[in-house]
Structure 1
Amino acid sequence: MPKRSYGQYCGLARALDVIGARWSLLIVRELLVGPARYSELLAGLPGISTNLLIDRLRELEEAGVVQRTLDTDRNSVAYMLTPWGSELRTAVGALVNWSTPLMISGPQEDSFRTHWLVVALDSLLRDRRSDEPTTVGLAVDDAIVTVSVDRTGVRVELCRGEAPATVLRGDPAVVLGLASGMLTVEQAIAGGQLLGQEKDLAVAFGRS
Structure 2
Amino acid sequence: MAAALDILGERWTLLIVRELLTGPCRYNELQANLPGIGTNLLADRLKFLTEMDIIRQRSQDGAKTRMYELTEQGESLRTAVLDLARWGLGMLGTPEAEEVVRPRWGVLAVEAMIDPRHAGPDEVYEFRLDDEVFHIDVKDGRVKVLHGKAPAEPALVVRTDAVTFVEIGAGRLNPLEATLTRRVVMEGAEEAVLRCSRLLGLMS
TM-score per shorter chain, which class? 0.7 to 0.9
Partner in structure 2 of residue 67 of structure 1: 56
Q: Which has the higher contact order (CA 8 A, sep 6+)?
A: 2
1:52-131 aligned within 5 A: 52-72=41-61, 74-103=63-92, 105-108=93-96, 109-131=98-120
Question: Structure 1 unaligned runs (5+)?
Answer: 1-11
Partner in structure 2 of residue 202 of structure 1: 194
Amino acid in the other structure paired with 2:196: A
Aligned match of 1:147 in 109, 128, 136? 136
C-alpha RMSD over aligned residues:
2.6
Shift of 1:15: 0.9
Amino acid in the other structure paired with 1:17: D
CA contact 1:124–1:180 (8 Å) conserved in 2 = no
TM-score (norm 1): 0.80
For 1:84-113, what per-residue CA distance to the aligned partner results, in whole angstroms no more than 9, with x for missing partners?
11111111011011112212x222232011
1:144/1:204 CA distance change after superposition, 3 Å: same
1:15/1:33 CA distance change after superposition, 3 Å: same
TM-score (norm 2): 0.81
Query: What's the % identity of the aligned pairs?
Result: 35
Count of aligned pairs: 196
